[in-house]
Every structure is written in structure tokens, then in C-alpha cells.
Amino acid sequence: MAALTSTAPARSGSSAGTGAGKAAARRRGPIEWVRAHVLATTAVLVFVFLLAPNAVMLVMSFNAPIGKYNYIWHQFSTDAWRHPCQVGDICQHMGLSLEIGVVAMIGSTVLGTMAAFAMSRHRFRARTGVNLLLFLPMAAPEIIMGATLLTLFYSTIGSGSLGFWTITVGHVMFCLSYVVVTVKSRLAGMDPMLEKAAQDLYATPRQTFMKVTLPLVAPGIAAAALLAFALSIDDYIVTAYTKGNEVTFPVYVYGAVQRSVPTQIDVIGSMMLLVSMAGIAGMLVVGRLRTRRR
Amino acid sequence: MSAQAANLGAPPAPPPAAGPEAPRRRRNRLPYLLLAPALLWLIVFFVVPIFTSVSASVQEGSLDNGYTLTWRWANFSDGWAQYHMQFGRSFLYAFLCTIFCLLLGYPLAYFIAFKGGRWKTLLMALVIVPSFTSFLIRTIAWKTILSDNGIVVHVLNDLHITDLTSAIGFTVGDHVLASPAAVVCGMVYNFLPFTVLPLYTSLEKIDPRLHEAGTDLYCSPWSTWRRVTLPLSMPGLVGGTLLTFIPAVGDYVNAQLLGNPNTVVIGQSIEHEFLQDSTGYPIASALSVLLMAVTLIIVLLYVRKAGTEDLL
């Protein structure tokens, strides 16, 4: 099945809609053949749509723009790559984002993993209600979370205390649900027989957990942590409401559109992209090596 | 021993029957202990704020003199009178965004799920990888792509598509930037992965042999899709549209970065009232409560209509 479909695009070109008779001789009809190509073309175009901004960002990071806005291509230059921190406090803003990202990642991963274990391993009262509460933050528009958090902070600690910790608190809040979902799905996909086997072999519950369960869930926890980190450093809307006078990288970029968009913004964006692409590629390679070894 | 193991299994596990007394009692308290920190966090920073917000929406006062609860329901009518256009735009753009995301996302998810073969993982990674750099930078990149000297605008002008879209007010003259079209384009771009991921998950579960069965039963590919694939992908479709529509309603980054003064959405108004206007705090709260309520009603109606209750 897979072999048959993967060769279909290769047979293109030779016959368009007119080669219907020939195509009908094949097991699949002409409509199916045309549809396969329409589908492939659409998929390619959608991929172009999805990836174009990243390509533009990479290209524009080598631009020497005229004026303050790096929107139009002018001249090749590696200046921005050689001096990524030269503009304003751009690297301090990135540093703040990374700090918040790490703290929010740790917080939400610890809380979320615990909750995920409780949700998938235990039956208890109010399960449905808890499920709903864990799901809601994912379904709420970000602006609602940001605006309501701001009213909470206004009415309790006052607007003067907004800063690093209020941002982090908000980030942990909206990352939590994603962590729970990610770890829960890993737990659900686990073969319960493995734990049963460990217990049959006289492992104590603690040993079973440390030697069997945890290693099996670890990839899920790692993925959840990465997701939380990515969500946190990329967040603008919730941060905008809880930031006080702090300026994270997204807040800086958002404000830059009104003042000036230096090439360095594209450089830092490209660095983020390259690092995460290398990470994904590394994980895929490691995963492939592992399955091959088995 | 076996009862204990069964207790570790998947959700529909039988209640712990036999077993040593002490560990059972501990296990019964364990889930609450594990859940408590996360739940407490969500209650304090997600549920309580909603109530403070509702309370703030009927308060009166100013930043200097403080706010007092006066049950001033007029905040809602004032907010509506002043910002109903922005409300309308938010929902219109979110609706259009959801439709376009489906039109682009369904074929893509279908292609990856059924024609991806061994490239499936890589193709799905390609859908996600763009999101690993700042979405603001990627949104700003659309300013370059849609600029007046760019290829896209030239092609659209040569094909007279901009004439058509300008006639219905979606673009302004020969330009694409700073128009509703640019805003919706940015939104579709930003939310497309949220449509594709759930769709892919439910399409990927479908056995391809069902397609062969459809063909064997003299179903045309189109009716195979309509009668077999589409119903089976409904959970993903409902999930995907929700994951797109809900954040799209509250999104104002695209409108801010790619729009013009005539594309102001409710998010911008709320931010303006909250952060720039010293007396706007109650109005802004009223606006966000209203936004929350309307979104919730639409989502509930949609979920009831789509008939998928096992979404949670």
C-alpha cells in the first residue's frame, strides 16, 4: 500500500487528464490518480505557506537594511550575525526570556507530571471535574488569562509588584495543562504488562517505579518540559499583562515594530530556529538508532 | 499482587479489591497529594482571577483613588456601545481563520497521514518546526512577503485578484499589507498547526484498508471520503477547529502587526483600556468577561451540534 502510493507521484508528467484509458487499466481509477496529485500539490503549497516566513527570517538576517526597518532586502551583510547583541538590550531581553522559560519549565513540569500520574494511575472522586479544570486553560483565549490575572494582581499585590515572578506564575499556569496532556498520553501508551512483570519478579513498588515506570515515561516528561519551555519563551499576550516594567524578548519584538526592527531580531530568531531544528534532528537520529539496536 | 498491578493499568481499571491494608490506604490518599499542587495553582491563578475579573467589571473608580464595587452594570453596556465593532471583527476574523485553516489543514493532514509513508514523522516535524522560533518574528516576516514590491502582491495584482478583494473590502487598493486580508493571512499562518495536529492524529488512526473496502464496494473516492474518512476524522476536525477558533478570537498580535486602524480587534481594545487608559480598568474587565462569555457560548453550541462529548 505504502509502496504503491509513494510511486504514484513519480509517474506524473506523462499523462494528464487525457490519459484516462491508460490510467483506468491500472487498479486505481483516473480520478484517484488526479486526486493523488491535487493532494500532493496542495500539501506542497501549504508547506511553502508554513515555511516561507522562516525562510524569509533566515534570509533577512543577512540583510543590511536601508533605514530602521528590516523589511525590504537591500544588501548582503553578516554584520548582524557578528554582533547579535549590538542593538539596545536585545540580549538582556532574550536572557530574561530564557530565565523565565527555565523556571516556568521546571515548575510546570514538576506540577504537571505529578498531576498526570494521579490522573492516569488512580481512580478517585471528582475525576471529571479535575479533568475539566486541567483542560480549560488550554481552551481559554490567552488574552482572557492575561487580563484576568492582571485583575488578580491589581486587587491583591498591586500594580507595583508586577515583574519576573508574576510573569513566571502566569507561564507555569498556562504550561501546566500542556504538560499534563503530554505526560498523560505517554502513560496511556505504556504497556501495563511491563509493570506487572516487574512486580511478578518481586520488585517493590518503589523499584518498579524507579526502574520501569520512570525510564519509560521519561521521554514523555522530556517532551513536555521542552514544550513548556518553548511555550514560555514565545509567549507574548499573557506576558504583556503580567510584566510590569520587565521586557522579555517577545515584548521587545512587539514593541520594536513601532520603533525600529533591527536585523538582529531576525538573527536571534534564526538562532532559535537552528537550535531547535538541531535538537529535533538529534532526537530523531537517537530514536532511530535505538530502534535499530533492538 | 495481581489486583495491585491491575490498579496501575489504564483508566478503566477495576477498583482495588484485595490487597494489604496499609498500602491501599496510602494509595487512596496519594492521588490527592499528587494533584494538590497543580490544582491549587490552577485555582489560584486561573479560576480565582476569573472571579476577580467579574467583580472588577462592575466596579467604579480610577487608578489613583482606587476602585470600589458599585455593581455598575453600565460598564458592560458602555463597553459594548464603544467596542461592538471590534467584537464583530474579532469573531469574523476568527471564523474566517478557522475556515481557511480547515481548507488548508485537512488536505495537508490527509496527505501526511495516508501518503506520507515512512516520511510521516519528518513531515509532521516540518509542520511543527516553524513554531520553534518566535511567532512574532515570523509574523513580521509576512510584512516582507506581502510588501508592495514582493512577488506575491505582483502576482495577485496581475491576476486582478486584489481588485476583487478590494471590492469586498478585504484589501486596500493594490496593497495587501495593512488590510483585513493580511490579518487573516497571518492568523491562518499562526494557527494552522493547531488545526493540522488533531486532524492528523485522528486521520492517522484510520485503517487505510477501509479505503480499499470503500473502493471494493463501488464507492467513488469522493464518497469514500465523505462516508468513511470524514466521519472517522470528526473528533480531530472538531478538536482542530476549536483549538484554532478559541485562540483566534482572542488574538490581537496579527491585527496589531499586519492590520491598519480599521482592523482593530477586541484584544487591542482590551489591552488599550487596561494598559494605556488609567480609568479603563473596569471597562477592560467588562470587555474580557463579555469576550469570555460569548466565546464559551459559541463553543458550547458548536460542540453540542458536532455531537462529540468525549473531547475532554
Instruction: Write down all domains in chain A, each with its CATH number in brackets.
Output: 2-59 (no CATH), 61-87+263-294 (no CATH), 90-261 (1.10.3720.10)
**Within a domain: B253:** yes
Cell numbers placing A200:
511478578
Q: In angstroms, rounded to a whole number, what is the distance separating the alpha carbons of residues B126 and A277?
A: 10
Residues B147, A284: C-beta atoms closer than 8 Å: no
* Residue among B15, B130, B270 whose CB faces A123 most closely: B15
> In degrees, to the nearest 5, what angle opens at C-alpha B141 toward C-alphas B135 and B143?
125
How far apart (Å, rounded) are the C-alpha atoms in residues B34 and B29?
9
Picking from A73, A151, A179, A267 by the largest number of B CB atoms within 10 A of its own CB, the best residue to mutate is A151
Summarised one tens digit per residue, pLDDT across range A220-253 is 999 899 889 999 999 999 999 999 899 999 999 9
Contact (CB, 8 A) for A26 and A8:
no
Please state the separation of Cα B186 from the chain's center in Å: 14
Q: Which of A207-216, B91-100, B289-298 has the highest mean pLDDT?
A: B91-100
User: What is residue A79's predicted lDDT score, i.e. its pLDDT?
Assistant: 87
* Sequential DSSP letters for B33-87: HHHHHHHHHHIIIIIHHHHHHHHHTTEEEETTTEEEE---THHHHHHHHHHHHHH
Q: How sure is the predictor about A180, in pLDDT bands with cuts at 50, 70 and 90?
A: very high
List residues bridging with B62 in a β-sheet: B66
d(CA A135, CA A181): 9
Q: Do A53 and B104 touch (CB under 8 A)?
A: no
B73, part of any domain: no
Closest to B133 (Cβ–Cβ): which among A114, A135, A272? A272
d(CA A166, CA A146): 11
User: Residue A113 in contact with residue A224, Cβ under 8 Å?
Assistant: yes
Q: What is the mean pLDDT of residues B87-102?
A: 96
Q: Which of B38, B131, B270 is opposite residue A143, by nearest beta carbon?
A: B270
Domain of residue B242: give its range. 83-306
Average pLDDT value for chain B: 85
Comparing CA positions, the residue from B237, B200, B222, B198 lying closest to residue B112 is B200
pLDDT at B49: 93
Does residue B54 belong to any structural domain of this protein?
no
What CA–CA distances, in Å, run from B190 to A158, B119, B141?
Answer: 34, 24, 12
Q: How many CB atoms lie within 10 A of CB B117?
A: 13
Indicate whether B57 belongs to any domain. Answer: no
- The answer to ipTM > 0.90 is no
Q: Which three cell numbers stand for residue B99?
A: 475556515
For residue B47, being part of any structural domain is answered with no
Say if the Cβ atoms of A39 and B131 lie within 8 Å.
Answer: no
When divided into structural domains, chain B yields a total of 1
**Residue B23 in contact with partner chain A when CB distance is under 8 A:** yes
Residue B128 in this model has a pLDDT that exceeds 80: yes
Most confident stretch, A49-53, A118-122, A190-194, B150-154: A49-53
Q: Quick one: what percent of chain B has pLDDT higher than 70? A: 88
Q: List the 52-91 stretch of A: residues with Cβ below 8 A of B.
A: 52-54, 56-57, 60, 71-73
**Domain harbouring B191, CATH code:** 1.10.3720.10
pTM: 0.83
Nearest to B187 by CA among B135, B149, B237, B235: B135
Cβ of B131 within 8 Å of Cβ of A230? The answer is yes
- Residue B72 region, left (φ>0) first, then alpha (ψ -120 to 50), else beta? beta
Give how far B165 is from chain A: nearest CA, Å. Answer: 20
With 50 as the cut, is the pLDDT of residue B1 above it?
no
B102 within 8 A of B240, measured Cβ to Cβ: yes
pLDDT per position as a tens digit, A71-92: 889 889 998 899 999 888 899 9
Residue B67 lies in a domain: no
Instruction: Return residues 238-267 of B near A (CB < 8 Å).
Output: 242, 246-247, 249-253, 256-257, 267
Closest CA relative to residue B225, chosen from B146, B117, B110, B79? B110
A254 contact residues in B (CB cutoff 8 A): 136, 253, 256-257
Distance CA B13, CA A123 (A): 8
User: What are B266's three cell numbers?
Assistant: 477586541
Nearest CA in chain B to A262: B137
Residue B277: inside a domain, yes or no?
yes
- What percent of the residues of chain B are helix, what percent strand, and what percent coil, each to the nearest 5? 75, 5, 20
Distance, in Å, from the CA atom of B266 to the CA atom of B146, rounded to the nearest integer, reads 24
In a domain, B274, yes or no: yes
